[in-house]
């Protein structure tokens, strides 16, 4: 596979690897594998960036506030999932992860945590 790296290491010490052909993105914490000659190759620790596939959400389904910056698609204490602002998600106290919730960046619609 042929990958190019675009952008640089961010504050969370992950690197973003962007496929030159499909535009698919990966994140990787193995920074040393993405320097110099190996920088354009995805390694076994590269993880695909998941992107929110639906329409861009506008407001929190729990408190109704207009979303800004980030939103969470996650389980509520009552069972059903909802699109929440980060404050409501904290209030649900279920955390992030598989079966609990995913946090997305509202601008890029890319998953940032979970
Ligand atoms: Zn990698
Ligand atoms: Zn809310």
Find the ligand nearest to 46 CA: 1
What are 30's two structure tokens? 């193995």
Question: What are the structure tokens assigned to 39, written together?
Answer: 């920088």
- Do 44 and 55 reside in the same domain of the chain? no
Which pLDDT belongs to residue 15? 81
What spacing in Å lies between the alpha carbon of 111 and ligand 1's midpoint? 17
Report the candidate in 16, 53, 67, 23 with the shortest Cα–Cα distance to residue 5.
Answer: 16
pTM here is 0.72
Model pLDDT, residue 67: 98
In the reported structure, the alpha carbon of residue 75 is separated from the centroid of ligand 1 by a whole-number distance in angstroms of 30
Same structural domain, 94 and 65: yes
Same domain, 55 and 87: yes
Q: Which domain holds residue 61?
A: 50-114
Answer yes or no: do 78 and 106 share one domain. Answer: yes
Number of domains in the chain: 2
Looking at the fold, whether 15 and 58 belong to one and the same domain comes out as no
* 67 shares a domain with 38: no
Q: Are 60 and 84 in contact (CB under 8 A)?
A: yes
* Tokens, residue 12: 């969370």
- pLDDT score recorded for residue 70: 97
Per-10-residue mean pLDDT of the chain, 114 residues long, equals 50 70 78 73 86 95 97 94 97 93 95 91
Model pLDDT, residue 41: 76
């Amino acid at each position: 596979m042929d990958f190019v790296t675009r952008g640089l290491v961010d504050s969370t010490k992950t690197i973003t690897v962007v496929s030159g052909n499909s535009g698919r993105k990966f994140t990787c914490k193995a920074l040393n594998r993405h320097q110099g000659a190996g920088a354009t190759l995805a390694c076994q620790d590269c993880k695909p960036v998941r992107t929110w596939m639906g329409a861009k959400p506008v407001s929190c389904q729990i408190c109704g506030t207009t979303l800004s910056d980030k939103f969470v698609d996650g389980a509520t204490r009552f069972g059903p999932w909802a699109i929440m602002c980060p404050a409501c998600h904290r209030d649900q106290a279920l955390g992030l992860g598989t079966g609990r919730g995913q946090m997305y960046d509202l601008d890029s619609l890319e998953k940032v945590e979970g």
